């Protein structure tokens, strides 16, 4: 049987020795005694899981013996005992074994504390970096408690031997024999108290101690754990300036944690953390092992669609530049109440490709399908990027502005285009016109010559303009554009006639003069007719467009008569006069079609661009421009069909003209028809679309 001291008079029975510092006159025993609120009853086990020898009703305690009876003992040992008792009596923290009792024997003084089934971290054992970080957090939490006391308690002897850790990584701080109250300066005559290598320089030289003093011991203790350095060899890492060099021994520890440790063991107190609370907050914000750092190319994403049913895309680049780490991530979309109505798989209108990635550079494409969204709305969602660099996801705001709902009506009504197409045919297929002309000429043949009829027609135009002189703006605008169009057509036809040697047709100079004269009359009259038919439907801007379009089309179409003359299409002078009337009517109908088109368009929003400006048309909307193009192509295609009916498709020029006008007309009208169908479908599905 081992020779343990007899403490039965004090009510305790020693079971075994836990540790000793015999040169310092200290021995620690595990004992049992009457239960005094200790959390370790008699059926507890030791740190190795072995049953202890205790009777029922007894409890485990730790007895620290201060052997003052030995020859080498001094009053300093007694002071240490008194100080530890004084400190422990006022402390109540789960990381500090509670004070239970004290007694005196012939061998010295004895301190009784709560027993914790834990071992000193100075004992060799395998440590994982995350376990060491947990030890650091727990140890600093104890120091925060001590430093919040009034006055603060400074331990002064934090080292691996005084830090216990149990099987569940619960940390306990023991041995308060050197503890000091407050941040007062230690007397110069006092003995240096602490352990070399773990004492900060200010403690070593008996200078003023602060709340940062114990941080040095915590840092040195953690360095021993991380570098597998025994506490007795910590001095090998300290230089003459009392700086600990440990970087080369920490190969798998993150840079941020190493920098935190370096600040903990700075030789000067002012360079350390000011207190345990600041050090604890800093260490909780970093990982002990190197972790990747996700950096995204975008802080937020703002997408705007120009068309309904458009799929918008944005590429986001995620990078990691931390050496020795690999970034893993996956995308998710934060839940939104409006999206919960979707019953399908995945998100209803947002997708990310790839949804998962591994590597230090990834290009992810965010696709937004606006087909399930309402038009003219702003949607705000949040993308979540979960990575192994942080426990919290990276949040990427997403804003999507959908295109406004387009009007249901086409830019040009089909009924007006059909009428213009028919007039285009009649303008160049002269058989019906000749038939009507013959029917008119037969009753008056021999009374009126064709020349007289032509003069009568011109006189009628002049009188008509005079009688409608109350519309001077329409007449002037139509005459101006009609003369320009007529002159242009006359020059082109005359130039072609001279180049090809077609005698009997007008020359380019004659064509120019004839085009101006004819264009002025036809353009003015057509503009007046269009103005009369649309005066209640248009504003000033639209009226200007109507007048110029009607006059230009009538003047240009009227001057194409030399083409028909080349094909000998006129049987009588009356037919020629009727053909000029068709040109005038075509211009007037085209002006009315533009007026109807502009009247059906919604008012422009403040964000829309200003109307375009040009030589022939002062200003017009995008739909108005499309309508003018559609009208011109429709009349041109009808003219080609009329020539084909007049002369057949054997003429290569007619065939080329038909193909050119037909292709252009299809290119203009097909998108308009397609959009009209799409808008109808959108309005039918609108009740089922996702709201912002």
Written as one string, the DSSP assignment of 246-281 is: -GGG-SSS-HHHHHHHHHHT-SSGGGS-SSHHHHHH
Average pLDDT, stretch 44-62? 60
**How many Cα atoms are found within 13 Å in the side-chain-facing hemisphere of 145?**
16
For 226-250, the pLDDT digits (tens) are 999 999 999 999 999 899 999 988 8
651/658 Cα distance (integer angstroms)? 11
Q: Name the CATH superfamily housing domain 119-284.
A: Transferase(Phosphotransferase) domain 1 (1.10.510.10)
CB 223 within 8 A of CB 121: no
Alpha carbon of 471 to those of 522, 533, 550, 617: distances in Å?
15, 12, 14, 19
What integer pLDDT is reported at residue 277 of this predicted model? 96
Task: Quickly state the pLDDT bin for 188 (edges 50, 70, 90).
Answer: very low
Which class does domain 8-114 fall in? alpha beta
For 549-566, the pLDDT digits (tens) are 888 888 888 888 888 777
Nearest Cα to 323, choosing from 366, 346, 281, 293? 293
Give the DSSP letter of residue 229.
Answer: -
Average pLDDT, stretch 92-113? 90
**Helix intervals (H) in 468-572:** 472-500, 508-534, 540-558, 561-566
| Summary mean pLDDT of the chain | 81
Q: Which residues contact 265 (CB under 8 A, 6 or more apart)?
A: 216, 219, 220, 223, 243, 244, 272
Alpha carbon of 79 to those of 170, 173, 378: distances in Å?
30, 20, 75
**Helix intervals (H) in 315-410:** none
For 297-319, the pLDDT digits (tens) are 999 999 999 888 889 999 999 99
Tell me whether the omega of the peptide bond preceding residue 151 falls within 30 degrees of 0, making it cis.
Answer: yes
What integer pLDDT is reported at residue 416 of this predicted model? 83
336/404 Cα distance (integer angstroms)? 23
Average pLDDT, stretch 86-111? 88
Q: Which residues pair with 401 in a beta bridge?
A: 304, 378
Q: Is 507 exposed, middle or buried (0-12, 13-18, 19+ CB in 10 A)?
A: middle
**How many Cα atoms are found within 13 Å in the side-chain-facing hemisphere of 378?**
5
Residue 413 backbone phi and psi in degrees, to 5: -65, 140
Q: Write out the two tokens for 124.
A: 């060799």
pLDDT at 534 > cutoff 80: no
For 244-285, the pLDDT digits (tens) are 999 988 878 888 899 999 999 999 999 999 999 999 999 998
For 479-514, the pLDDT digits (tens) are 788 888 888 888 888 777 777 665 546 666 777 788
441/447 Cα distance (integer angstroms)? 10
Give the DSSP letter of residue 690.
Answer: B
What integer pLDDT is reported at residue 114 of this predicted model? 92
What integer pLDDT is reported at residue 538 of this predicted model? 61
Residues written for the chain: 692
Task: Quickly state the pLDDT bin for 363 (edges 50, 70, 90).
Answer: very high
218/158 Cα distance (integer angstroms)? 6
Nearest Cα to 133, choosing from 327, 271, 320, 291? 291
Fold agreement (119-284, 296-401): no
**How many Cα atoms are found within 13 Å in the side-chain-facing hemisphere of 174?**
25
Residue 488 backbone phi and psi in degrees, to 5: -60, -45
What integer pLDDT is reported at residue 76 of this predicted model? 56
Nearest Cα to 551, choosing from 644, 621, 465, 626? 465
Q: Is 659 exposed, middle or buried (0-12, 13-18, 19+ CB in 10 A)?
A: exposed
Q: Is 540 exposed, middle or buried (0-12, 13-18, 19+ CB in 10 A)?
A: exposed
Task: Quickly state the pLDDT bin for 613 (edges 50, 70, 90).
Answer: very low
Tell me whether the omega of the peptide bond preceding residue 75 falls within 30 degrees of 0, making it cis.
Answer: no
What integer pLDDT is reported at residue 71 of this predicted model? 46
pLDDT at 140 > cutoff 90: yes
Domain ranges within the chain, ordered by starting residue = 8-114, 119-284, 296-401, 414-604+613-678
pLDDT at 37 > cutoff 50: no
171/141 Cα distance (integer angstroms)? 10
Alpha carbon of 609 to those of 537, 613, 619: distances in Å?
24, 12, 12
Nearest Cα to 628, choosing from 594, 603, 578, 679? 594
Look up the CATH number of domain 296-401: 2.60.40.2310
CB 293 within 8 A of CB 256: no
3-state SS assignment for residue 136: helix
Laid out side by side, the sheet with 171-173 consists of 119-120, 163-165, 171-173
474/369 Cα distance (integer angstroms)? 49
What integer pLDDT is reported at residue 411 of this predicted model? 56
pTM above 0.75, yes or no: no
């Amino acid at each position: 049987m081992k020779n343990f001291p007899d403490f039965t008079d004090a009510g305790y029975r020693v079971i075994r020795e836990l540790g000793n510092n015999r040169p310092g006159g200290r021995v620690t025993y595990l004992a049992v005694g009457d239960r005094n609120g200790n959390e370790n009853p008699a059926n507890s086990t030791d740190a190795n899981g072995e049953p202890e020898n205790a009777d029922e009703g007894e409890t485990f305690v730790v007895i620290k013996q201060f052997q003052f009876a030995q020859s080498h003992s001094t009053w300093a040992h007694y002071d240490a005992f008194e100080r530890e008792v004084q400190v422990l009596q006022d402390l109540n923290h789960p990381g500090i074994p509670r004070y239970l009792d004290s007694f005196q024997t012939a061998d010295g003084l004895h301190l009784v504390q709560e027993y914790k089934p834990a071992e000193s971290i100075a004992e060799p054992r395998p440590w994982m970096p995350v376990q060491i970080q947990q030890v650091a957090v727990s140890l600093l939490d104890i120091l925060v408690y001590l430093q919040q006391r009034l006055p603060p308690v400074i331990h002064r002897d934090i080292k691996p031997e005084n830090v216990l850790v149990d099987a569940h990584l619960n940390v306990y701080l023991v041995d308060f024999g050197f503890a000091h109250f407050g941040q007062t300066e230690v007397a110069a005559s006092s003995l240096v108290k602490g352990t070399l290598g773990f004492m900060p320089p200010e403690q070593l030289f008996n200078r003023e101690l602060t709340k940062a003093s114990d941080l040095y011991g915590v840092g040195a203790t953690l360095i021993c754990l991380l570098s597998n350095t025994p506490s007795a060899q910590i001095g090998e890492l300290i230089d003459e300036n009392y700086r600990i060099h440990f970087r080369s021994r920490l190969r798998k520890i993150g840079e941020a944690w190493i920098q935190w440790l370096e600040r903990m063991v700075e030789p000067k107190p002012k360079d350390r953390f000011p207190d345990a609370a600041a050090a604890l907050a800093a260490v909780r914000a970093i990982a002990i092992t190197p972790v990747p750092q996700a950096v995204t190319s975008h802080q937020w994403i703002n997408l705007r669609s120009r068309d309904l049913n458009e799929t918008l895309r944005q590429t986001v680049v995620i990078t990691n530049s931390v050496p020795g780490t690999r970034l893993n991530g996956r995308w998710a979309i934060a839940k939104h109440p409006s999206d919960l109505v979707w019953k399908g798989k995945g998100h209803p209108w947002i997708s990310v490709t790839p949804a998962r990635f591994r590597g230090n550079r990834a290009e992810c494409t965010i696709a937004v399908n606006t087909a399930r969204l309402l038009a003219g709305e702003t949607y705000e969602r949040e993308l979540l990027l979960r990575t192994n660099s942080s426990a919290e996801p990276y949040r990427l705001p997403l804003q999507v502005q959908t295109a406004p709902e387009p009007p249901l009506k086409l830019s040009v009504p089909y009924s007006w285009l059909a009428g213009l197409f028919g007039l285009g045919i009649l303008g160049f297929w002269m058989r019906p016109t000749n038939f009507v002309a013959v029917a008119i000429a037969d009753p008056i043949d021999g009374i009126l010559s064709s020349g007289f009829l032509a003069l009568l027609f011109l006189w009628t135009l002049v009188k008509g303009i005079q009688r409608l002189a109350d519309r001077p703006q329409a007449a002037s605008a139509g005459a101006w554009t009609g003369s320009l169009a007529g002159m242009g057509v006359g020059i082109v036809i005359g130039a072609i006639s001279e180049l090809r040697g077609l005698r009997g047709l007008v020359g380019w100079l004659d064509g120019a003069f004839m085009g101006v004269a004819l264009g002025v009359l036809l353009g003015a009259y057509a503009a007046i007719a269009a103005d009369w038919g649309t005066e209640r439907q248009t504003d000033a801007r639209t009226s200007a467009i109507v007048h110029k379009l009607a006059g230009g089309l009538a003047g240009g179409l009227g001057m194409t008569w030399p083409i028909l003359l080349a094909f000998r299409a006129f049987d009588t002078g009356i037919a020629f006069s009727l053909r000029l009337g068709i040109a005038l009517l075509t211009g007037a109908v085209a002006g009315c079609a533009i007026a109807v088109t502009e009247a059906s368009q919604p008012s422009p929003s403040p964000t829309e661009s200003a109307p375009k400006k040009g030589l022939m048309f002062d200003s017009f909307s995008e739909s108005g421009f499309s309508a003018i193009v559609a009208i011109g192509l429709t009349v041109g295609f009808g003219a080609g069909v009329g020539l084909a009916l007049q002369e057949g498709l054997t003429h290569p020029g007619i065939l080329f003209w038909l193909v050119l006008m037909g292709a252009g007309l299809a290119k203009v009208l097909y998108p308009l028809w397609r959009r009209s169908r799409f808008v109808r479908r959108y309005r039918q599905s609108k009740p089922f679309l996702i709201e912002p």
